[in-house]
A and B are shown apart, each in its own frame.
Chain A
Amino acid sequence: MSTQAHASKAKRVPSKSVEIHIKRRANPDSPSYWEQFEIPYRPNLNVISCLMEIQANPVTKEGKPTTPPVWQMNCLEQVCGICTMVINGRARQSCSALIDNLDQPIKLEPMQKFSNIRDLVVDRSRMFDHLKQVNAWIELDGTHDLGPGPRMDQDDVQERYAYSRCMTCGCCLEACPQYDEDNYIGPQAIAQVRLFNMHPTGAMSRDARLEGIMQEDGITNCGNAQNCIKACPMGIPLTRAIYEENRETVVHGLFGWLKK
């Protein structure tokens, strides 16, 4: 949503070629460097089709042969999140970044908040660690038939559906001015706490999840810059999730001793 709004402001260049600058790195221990490429323009190009073009003929704009650039991709329809990179300064999916909507030269960088493995590939396993830290699942173990689950309010179903659309792409963490070197668990995991705490069965392990977001890297490190909700390609109400969990941590965490 927001990325489209941003893109519509960009000037459309009816050029015959597309100039792309890629921030590259050969391996995790080597320094990064920029390379410039130019490929012929054709209608309906997106960033990934440009990268494929460069990969097929890895020669820089100056005519120097180089290694083919490396990136990750899978679904090509902005559902899996794996092709996320920083395009002209903003984190977004490269599959849905249309060349016609982008300012040229197009600058491609790997996400900076995750460790860079090679070229545009980053290691995003931290987000999986965060999900484990907050018990982002529902305990359903039982050898016998547990019967149908409890009924849920339709409004809750709608809200949970929004949170369930998270594809763990990392745009919210990349855009967050508080998230750096894993000092803050970030909106992605907090929204999943909301998702599972809203579930009638999931609510039974609510306190374990709250403890997960109340650690040293927890929810209080949020600085309310609200870039997450603008950067989220799935339109997830991330600030709402954070503030709902602020309430839960205050009521059950901070004031929990008043019930003892």
Chain B
Amino acid sequence: MAIHLSRTFVLRKLHQLSGIVPLGIFVLEHFYTNSKAINGAGAFNEAVKDLQAIPYILFVEIGGIFIPLIYHAVYGLVITMEARPNNLNYPYPRNWFYLIQRTTGVILFFFIAFHLLHFRFGLIPGLNPTSVAHRPDIAFEIVSRGFSSVPIFLVYMVGITATVWHLANGVWLFMVDWGITIGERAQRLTGYACIGFGIFLLLVGINAAVAFIRPGGLLGGIL
């Protein structure tokens, strides 16, 4: 017999999938490009220029990033509104993870909206009126100037941390939601793997951000 797929089932599966492909993959690409800043302004600007030279860039950006991003964000908020947290009566790690996943999701909704307007589109007049993507020649300088403000830099630290948590825990969630991880031992082992992945990603993400205000990043001049 053919199994009927309900609307909720399809929407949830798309939500789970979109967090990994394409959004998770995009975060990795984004951190890679950011890390070019460790090699200096020239290397970063070159990377921005290369990205802008991707064939069909408009369709790649709209279909591969903007549509999945908006879907994941908006439907994520719908899911978040269903939550009835009870962490004080049931104070278990996974229950905290459940709450933090939703909290970081809400933080990211606002952070990513700000981040896009700030750097991708350059539409925040008081802060930055120039799109990084449209001016590869001065891309590094735009970001560097933005990060020279301590509050802005701190906002990005919070944003990067929330992104890393949401993605690393999201990978674990994807694996159980799609029936890849099943048993308790497998849940534990993939949990450790995701923590390791998250720590690695956090170090890379923060180091890349620091590289815009300190040449070479955290280890600049040492390595």
List chain A positions with a Cβ less than 8 A from chain B: 89-90, 175, 177-180, 183, 207-208, 210-211, 214-218, 220-227, 230-231, 237, 239-240, 242-254, 256, 260
Contact = CB atoms under 8 A, between A and B. Distances in A.
Contact of A177 (B2, B83, B178, B187): B83
A210 B3 CA distance: 8
Contacts of A183: 82
A214 B3 contact: yes
Contacts of B13: 220, 250, 254
Contacts of A178: 82-84
A245 B177 CA distance: 9
A226 B95 contact: yes
A247 B89 CA distance: 30
Contacts of A223: 79, 82-83, 98
Which of A175, A208, A220, A260 is the most central at the interface, judged by chain B CB atoms within 10 Å of its CB?
A: A220
Given A243-B182, A249-B9, 16 more contacts: A177-B86, A180-B84, A207-B3, A208-B1, A214-B6, A218-B6, A220-B9, A224-B176, A224-B177, A225-B95, A243-B176, A250-B178, A252-B3, A253-B5, A254-B5, A256-B2
Contacts of B7: 216
A155 to B, nearest CB: 12
Given A177-B84, A248-B179, A225 B9 contact: no
B52 interface: no
Nearest to B102: A223
B182 A244 contact: yes
A246 B5 contact: no
Contacts of B177: 220, 222, 224, 246
Given A183-B82, A227-B92, A215 B98 contact: no
22 contacts: A177-B83, A215-B9, A220-B8, A220-B9, A220-B12, A223-B79, A224-B176, A225-B95, A227-B90, A230-B90, A231-B90, A242-B176, A243-B187, A245-B179, A246-B176, A246-B177, A246-B178, A247-B180, A249-B9, A250-B178, A253-B3, A260-B2
Interface of B: 1-9, 12-13, 16, 79, 82-86, 88-90, 92, 94-95, 97-99, 173, 176-184, 187
B176 A216 contact: no
A89 B90 CA distance: 9
Contacts, number: 121
Contact of A211 (B3, B79, B95): B3
Contacts of A180: 82, 84
Contacts of A211: 3-4
A223 B183 CA distance: 17
Contacts of B92: 225-227, 230
B20 to A, nearest CB: 14
Nearest to B9: A214
A60 to B, nearest CB: 26
A85 B177 CA distance: 30
Closest 7 CB pairs of A and B: A247-B179, A220-B12, A225-B98, A226-B94, A246-B179, A89-B89, A243-B182
